[in-house]
């Protein structure tokens, strides 16, 4: 079983709360909108299972059912912090997941451009595409940060 971090980086949660607040059009009668770290990680887990687990594995270990079909094997996502001196490389991973960072040394990009994929979902929900895509990406990032091995 993976050793999970008990807290999420404040930067990721802060960005996500801002995005969710922009997306939320529900008036809260005099009460503050409270979004827990657990809820964000849980939503990120559901998105991960739907969008990422097929290649990166249910446990984010790089051993998903499609992994053997890819030219470049998908990396284990639980050791990102360990490989980065104990700090989760939020910006770099966000660029890769969103599709903004190309990795020419790896050849063709096998991984879908999730920023575009999530933008398509927004149209069907009648929401702003950039806002929804950014929110979905941040939820996945919160989950990935949570599952880092110590």
Number of H helices, E strands in the chain: 6, 0
Contact assessment for residue 146 and residue 88, using Cβ atoms and an 8 Å cutoff: no
Contact assessment for residue 134 and residue 114, using Cβ atoms and an 8 Å cutoff: no
Q: Could you tell me the pLDDT band of residue 134, with boundaries at 50, 70 and 90?
A: confident
Per-domain boundaries in the chain: 10-23+37-146
Higher-pLDDT residue of 103, 82: 82
Q: Could you tell me the pLDDT band of residue 41, with boundaries at 50, 70 and 90?
A: very high
Structure tokens at 86: 């104990």
Mean pLDDT of the chain: 76
CA–CA gap between residue 120 and residue 114 (Å, rounded): 10
pLDDT surpasses 60 at 70: yes
* φ, ψ for residue 19, nearest 5 deg: -65, -45
pLDDT surpasses 80 at 91: yes
Higher-pLDDT residue of 107, 95: 95
Query: Interior CA angle at 142 toward 5 and 55, to 5°?
Result: 95
pLDDT surpasses 50 at 150: yes
- What pLDDT was estimated at residue 59? 96
Higher-pLDDT residue of 114, 111: 114
Q: Could you tell me the pLDDT band of residue 130, with boundaries at 50, 70 and 90?
A: confident
């Amino acid at each position: 079983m993976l050793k999970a971090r008990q807290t999420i980086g404040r930067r990721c949660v802060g960005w996500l709360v801002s995005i969710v607040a922009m997306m939320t059009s529900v008036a809260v009668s005099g009460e503050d909108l409270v979004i827990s770290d657990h809820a964000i990680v849980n939503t990120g887990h559901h998105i991960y299972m739907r969008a990422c687990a097929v290649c990166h594995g249910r446990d984010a270990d790089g051993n998903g059912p499609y992994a053997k079909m890819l030219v470049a094997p998908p990396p284990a996502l639980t050791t990102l912090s360990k490989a980065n001196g104990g700090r989760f490389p939020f910006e770099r991973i966000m660029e890769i997941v969103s599709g903004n960072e190309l990795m020419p040394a790896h050849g063709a990009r096998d991984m879908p451009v999730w920023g575009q994929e999530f933008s398509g979902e927004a149209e069907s929900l009648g929401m702003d595409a950039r806002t929804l895509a950014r929110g979905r990406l941040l939820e996945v990032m919160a989950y990935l940060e949570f599952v880092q091995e110590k």
